[in-house]
Amino acid sequence: MNLSEPQGAQLGPLNPGDVVSAALRLYKDRFKTFMQLAVLATLWFVGGIVGMVLAIAILIGVGAAVGGDLGAIVGGLLGTLLGMAPLLYGSAKYYALSSVIGRLSFQALINQPETSIDARRLVAPRLGQFLGLGFLLLLAYMGAYLVSAIAALVAGGGVGFLTAGILSALINETVGAIVGAIFGVVLGLAILLIALIWVASRLFISEVVLAIEPGQDAGGSMSRSWELTETAIWRIQVVFLATFLIQLPILSVTNYIPSILLELLPVGEAVYGIIAVLSLGLSLLGTMVVLPLWQAVKGVLYYDLRSRREGLDLALRQGAEPDADR
């Protein structure tokens, strides 16, 4: 995978291995820029959570001082409502800043590289759309889970009962019940998992679309992602699996091992508190390290999908955007 193409040349459609290799190369070449964006995005998100917690704590304290237990309850409710403002704003900044990494990756591939400042300037006016996109994605995933769970329950239950009935008649009720339950659970879980993977794959590049394509809004970005990924579900899953395996050693050290240690330590002791603080810090560090990789993958995947569906005229379509925004 060679990204050092002559100016004006383009890579064309990529296989899943090339998508991941290109993302890793971009991450390596622009490590400082990508990490700065990841740190800023994470800090904005953490700041939003801290702001919400402070709002709740302050208003609970004020409410308790004025009206006792009832005042504390009212203060907690008001604090939750007011605290949503910093949380939502921090979340929107997180989405916007992280998507800049995907935009920078895409622009590099079409030989129109941007600076981080220029990309952030172009993405900043869409902050409200990023917040709306996060909300719409949440609704989409919740709806997909609900529909998939119902389908899994109906299909798994039906197959389980049918299998149990047949085997009970042929062998005995105990064997029938056990095998039927196993078949039903396995089928139900398979349906649920496949449906969620399918929906997640179709919406995988939504925020990158919003960051790159001029004139897009939250709903349009989801529709565009749905359109581009229509015939690429399995290719996306290969890319997803490869990226997950690459990040696994990092997250094992920063997230999984500290969490296991916390489970083994008795709560309330000083060492538990120390490990908990270190675990939180390592978890944030791990998130910052892997975030640019995922966003670079999304940017390269967006390039690949457009190359396959719309040919190699990407530079012509994108070329007018910076001038239009100046």
Predicted confidence (pLDDT) per residue in 250-307, tens digit:
888 888 887 887 777 777 677 777 888 888 888 889 999 999 999 999 999 999 998 8
Judged against a pLDDT cut of 80, whether residue 118 lies above it is answered with yes
Mean pLDDT of 135-141: 93
Q: Where are the alpha helices (DSSP H) in 110-172?
A: 116-123, 127-170
Report the pLDDT value the prediction gives residue 265, as an integer from 0 to 100: 75
Q: Cα–Cα distance between 17 and 290 in angstroms, integer? A: 18
Contacts of 108 (CB under 8 A, 6+ apart): 3, 26, 30
Highest mean pLDDT among 24-38, 161-175, 226-240: 24-38
Please give the structure tokens belonging to residue 170: 């042929």
Structure tokens at 214: 């001029």
> What does the pLDDT average to over 107-129?
92
Among the listed ranges 128-137, 173-182, 276-285, which one has the minimum average pLDDT value?
173-182
